[in-house]
């Protein structure tokens, strides 16, 4: 399902649809829930035609009566972004993460331990606990955050502490890139493929050109031009695969098409 978000919200502001129906339509889409609900919250903050109090009540119904994780998550986002009540948001994220195995809620809670928000202290152990849950429960953003945490080059993520630095491990970084890629995160696909294509001898990670190609192809199919360009290079130069001019031209054309579409937007 593909929706024009602006038209959908304008449709509500014109009183043609009940708000509960709007939120349920949004919950039925395939966009990651932390993205789709923030769209509604941003619109509500700037559009007087969308009453915030009614949104809160609707999300309360979805969360506490209908037991819908997306409603709880959206309510937590409203506490955080509209009311500036990080303490209430953190409690609701924790409830939604632990009760419903809701990946975005786990991910957001991990960020609270990252930044010491909502009356929570910085806590590496808790940060990792909830980020790992977020990744396990299919939130690609959590997987990418974990990849950054374990990357030896990222010395300030999340805390400048010797015990954190001892956990750095590039192989774990690549594992989390791969997990994100499995969730169709194009950045994760490109970074996993690049790790295998180039290797990192200084980080004890051997290159495997043949293993790189499927990641680039997946990124390309998901609309990431860099994935197409790297797949083109592998087929053109025979890196980890038999050189194939026709396939090289195919991915070159895909790259050009993606760039052309981006320029039109």
Query: Which tens digits make up the pLDDT trace of 153-184?
Result: 877 655 556 667 788 999 999 999 999 999 99
Q: For position 192, what pLDDT does the model report?
A: 98
Q: For position 25, what pLDDT does the model report?
A: 40
- Considering just the CA atoms, what is the radius of gyration of the chain in Å? 21
Measured CA to CA, the distance from residue 155 to residue 168 in angstroms comes to 9
In a 13 Å sphere around the CA of 65, the CA atoms on its Cβ side amount to: 7
Query: Which tens digits make up the pLDDT trace of 24-67?
Result: 444 444 345 554 555 455 545 555 556 788 889 999 999 999 99
**Mean pLDDT in residue range 73-91:** 92
Instruction: Specify whether the CB–CB gap between 112 and 123 falls below 8 A.
Output: no
**251: how many CB neighbours lie within 10 A of its CB?**
23
In a 13 Å sphere around the CA of 226, the CA atoms on its Cβ side amount to: 10
pLDDT at 90 over 60: yes
Measured CA to CA, the distance from residue 128 to residue 183 in angstroms comes to 20
Query: Which tens digits make up the pLDDT trace of 110-139?
Result: 999 988 777 788 888 999 999 999 999 999
pLDDT at 23 over 50: no
Measured CA to CA, the distance from residue 193 to residue 216 in angstroms comes to 6
Report which DSSP code applies to 122. Answer: P
Measured CA to CA, the distance from residue 194 to residue 198 in angstroms comes to 6
- Residues forming beta bridges with residue 200, ordered by sequence position: 205
Which residue, 26, 44, 22, 48, is CA-closest to 35?
A: 26
pLDDT at 262 over 50: yes
Q: For position 81, what pLDDT does the model report?
A: 87
At 51, phi and psi to the nearest 5?
-70, 120
Greater confidence (199 vs 81) lies with: 199
Q: Where are the beta strands (DSSP E) in 134-260?
A: none
For the chain, domains (ranges, CATH) are 53-138 (1.25.40.10), 140-153+166-264 (1.25.40.10)
**216: how many CB neighbours lie within 10 A of its CB?**
28
Would you state the structure tokens that stand for residue 151, as one six-digit string? 């990357």
Would you state the structure tokens that stand for residue 93, as one six-digit string? 């994220």
Greater confidence (39 vs 17) lies with: 39
At 230, phi and psi to the nearest 5?
-75, -35
Which residue, 25, 26, 23, is CA-closest to 56?
A: 23
State how far the alpha carbon of 257 is from the alpha carbons of 17, 216, 265, in Å: 38, 16, 13
């Amino acid at each position: 399902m593909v929706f024009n978000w602006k038209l959908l919200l304008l449709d509500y502001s014109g009183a043609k649809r009940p708000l509960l129906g709007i939120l349920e339509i949004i919950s039925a889409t395939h966009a990651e829930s932390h993205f789709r609900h923030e769209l509604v919250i941003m619109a509500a903050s700037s559009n007087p035609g969308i009453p915030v109090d009614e949104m809160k009540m609707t999300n309360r119904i979805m969360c506490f009566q209908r037991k819908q994780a997306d409603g709880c998550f959206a309510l937590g986002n409203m506490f955080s972004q509209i009311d500036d009540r990080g303490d209430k948001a953190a409690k609701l994220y924790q409830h939604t993460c632990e009760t419903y195995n809701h990946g975005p809620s786990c991910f957001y809670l991990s960020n609270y331990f990252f930044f010491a928000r909502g009356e929570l202290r910085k806590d590496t152990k808790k940060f990792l606990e909830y980020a790992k849950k977020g990744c396990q429960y299919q939130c690609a953003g959590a997987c990418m955050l974990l990849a950054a945490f374990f990357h030896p080059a990222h010395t300030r993520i999340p805390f400048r502490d010797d015990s954190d630095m001892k956990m750095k491990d590039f192989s774990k970084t690549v594992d989390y890139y791969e997990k994100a890629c499995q969730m169709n995160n194009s950045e994760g696909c490109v970074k996993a493929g690049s790790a295998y294509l180039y290797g990192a001898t200084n980080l004890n990670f051997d290159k495997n050109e043949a293993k790189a190609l499927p990641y680039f192809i997946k990124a390309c199919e998901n609309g990431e031009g860099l994935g197409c360009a790297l797949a083109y290079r592998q087929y053109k130069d025979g890196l980890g695969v038999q050189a194939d001019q026709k396939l090289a031209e195919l991915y070159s054309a895909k790259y050009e098409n993606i760039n052309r579409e981006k320029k039109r937007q």
